Amino acid sequence: MSDVVEWCRECRDEEVEIQPAEFILWGKLFPPEAMGPKCWDHAAKYIHSMYRIDQYAVFDLRKVQRRKVAS
């Protein structure tokens, strides 16, 4: 069994070391390239103050308990 992990799409697209996503961004105020699962560094590009993420359309994956799935 392994943890269910969502990966940062921007890391994947840039072909750099792929980081686990810590946030999911969505909403009409974000540009299309901002949408989806993001690591901290890539999410920070689109959110001015990561300390006030409750003001944005952002889901914080760090607070989600991961469930185990069979591999």
Are 46 and 25 in contact by the 8 Å Cβ rule? The answer is yes
Residue of 29, 36, 49, 48 lying closest to 10 (CA atoms): 36
> What is residue 68's predicted lDDT score, i.e. its pLDDT?
61
Q: For the chain, which residues make up each domain, given as ranges?
A: 2-65
**Which residues in 9-38 are b (16+ Cβ under 10 Å) and which e?**
bbbeeeeeeebbbbbbbeeeebeeebebbb
Residue 19 is predicted with a pLDDT of 92
- The per-residue pLDDT for 25 is 93
- Show the low-confidence residues of the chain (pLDDT under 70): 1-4, 65-71
Entry pTM: 0.74
Task: Give the per-residue pLDDT at 70.
Answer: 59
Write down the pLDDT at residue 1.
39
